[in-house]
Amino acid sequence: MQQLTSHVYVETEIRGCNPGIVFTDEGSVFVDTAQWISKLLEMRGFALSRGPIRALINTESHIDHIFGNHWFAGECPVIGHENLEKTFWKIPAAFNQTTYDYSVDIIRRQDPEALHLMPSEKDYILNKPNVTFSDRLFFKLGDHDFRLYYTPGHSDANISVFVPQERTVFVGDTVFSQCQIWLHTANFDDLFRSLRFLGTLDVDYIVPGHGPVVGKAALHQQEAFLHEWISAVAYGVAKGWDEEECVQRISFADRCPVDIGQAEEMEYIQTHNVRVVYNYLMNN
Ligand SMILES: [Zn+2]
């Protein structure tokens, strides 16, 4: 785990999202839960050794951000966007597995010593957010402010968590840092709006959903990369390529790796990113 500021810790070197902890003088707040049971319990234990866990915030509904919610059941309120409910604990149909089986398979491969800690399907508690909001939600805990903003685009349930005292914002998958971007549920107009909005926050640290912590320049880099994706597919459309030909000919696989431990998803990412961009161009 990396200590980012005097009160913020993040884990950016495990498979799945970058979970974080913000410590206040009245307890801690978790942002997202790891998809790796031993790391998750290590983080949870670290937080509890310093006081109560007072809230868990999910920045989106994708499995890599909510898998560990089970281990916070009964511990604290869970906060998320109101749209998160309909996609919570759902994985792409192309994965051809139930979410539970998919999760067990991941634990078996990446964290086998913790497999015995995975509950049976009937005992696994989804622990969905019980505090939801539509546009923004602000609260104070001890000496810290938490400002939660709706920042859709990666999905329709993405939020960002701004902690002004730490000059830090957790932006979830609105930013992918030094790794492949997943656009399979993207809305580009929303994503561009959210990136511009995040640029108005007075921060030093942006905790992305995946990859190392970055500064505000990363917002422009992400925007530029999205434009590259759109341009590449627009070029194909201008050449007369249909969707399948675009899928065959366009790839950004050589640009950067997939986030840790997910190299096998490269083809899925490239294929679905092309399809989503193609349909965006055709419907706008
Ligand atoms: Zn993610």
Domain boundaries, the chain: 2-216, 224-282
The architecture (CATH level 2) of 2-216 comes to 4-Layer Sandwich (3.60)
Q: What is the pLDDT of residues 169-213, one digit of tens each?
A: 999 999 999 988 999 899 999 999 999 999 999 999 999 999 999
Ligand 1 center from residue 240 Cα (angstroms): 33
Residues with Cβ within 8 Å of 273's Cβ and at least 6 positions away in sequence, in order, are 181, 182, 183, 184, 229, 252
0.85 surpassed by pTM: yes
Q: Is the pLDDT of residue 284 over 80?
A: no
* Ordered alpha helix ranges (H), the chain: 37-48, 63-66, 84-87, 99-110, 188-198, 217-238, 243-249, 266-282
Ligand 1 center from residue 60 Cα (angstroms): 8
Ligand 1 center from residue 16 Cα (angstroms): 6
Ligand 1 center from residue 241 Cα (angstroms): 31
Q: Among 203, 158, 200, which Cα is nearest to 182's? A: 158
Ligand 1 center from residue 259 Cα (angstroms): 9
Ligand 1 center from residue 173 Cα (angstroms): 5
- Locate tokens 């349930």: which residue? 157
Ligand 1 center from residue 210 Cα (angstroms): 6
Ligand 1 center from residue 281 Cα (angstroms): 24
Q: What is the pLDDT of residues 90-115, one digit of tens each?
A: 888 888 899 999 999 999 998 999 99
Predicted pLDDT of residue 250:
94
